Chains A and B, each alone.
Chain A
């Protein structure tokens, strides 16, 4: 099936630092989504992107739909302990189910 390459796989950062993660694909997508999964819970949608070049913010989170439509980026500014979790990118190509990346596990050191 289609593959999304998400990096980094894991991150350990100090509280207050900014975080960047990205997702790339060999195929063009027309939708990019970013989800966060807290321990023991299901993923929750953070940001949805529908247009190449689109930059969208949700509080301290900012995501961008890459111009090539083959990548997307998520930035978290001034990280706090509750940012801990697994962040997933997901993409959709046409009228097909979402394809998920393998996730970036974020740990925040107070």
Chain B
């Protein structure tokens, strides 16, 4: 069991470029999440998917889009990257329906936008 995997681990973009962050879990979890972590700000929820086929906005969704490709995979897309999106991005998953279970996190993607 790899748990939650994320690619890439590091990425540098220029302002205006686009990219997709990939996340996959092999725990057969229903719910998946994308967070960003900034110094002194803790973890802030960008988007989540409570089950395959559904996605919802979190606390800071502006500038991002997501796709729940199947039960295993949940991708995060930046259409036109901005320096304010420089951050560490974490994907997480949880097993139950809804939000009754604890979350397991991936190792993170460190993104720098110049």
Contact = CB atoms under 8 A, between A and B. Distances in A.
Interface of A: 1, 6, 9, 33, 35, 40-45, 48, 88, 92, 95-98, 100-103
A88 B102 contact: no
B104 A102 contact: no
Contacts of B59: 1
A92 B99 contact: yes
B42 A102 contact: yes
Contacts, number: 48
B74 interface: no
Given A88-B42, A102-B42, A42 B100 contact: no
Contacts of A92: 99
B54 to A, nearest CB: 13
Given A43-B105, A48-B102, A101 B42 contact: yes
A97 B58 contact: yes
A54 to B, nearest CB: 15
A102 B40 contact: yes
B106 interface: yes
B45 interface: yes
A95 B100 contact: yes
Nearest to A35: B105
A9 B44 CA distance: 17
B98 A100 contact: no
22 contacts: A1-B59, A6-B42, A33-B102, A40-B108, A42-B90, A42-B92, A42-B106, A43-B90, A43-B105, A45-B103, A48-B102, A88-B43, A95-B99, A95-B100, A97-B33, A97-B45, A97-B58, A98-B99, A100-B35, A100-B42, A100-B44, A102-B41
A40 B110 CA distance: 9
Contacts of B44: 100
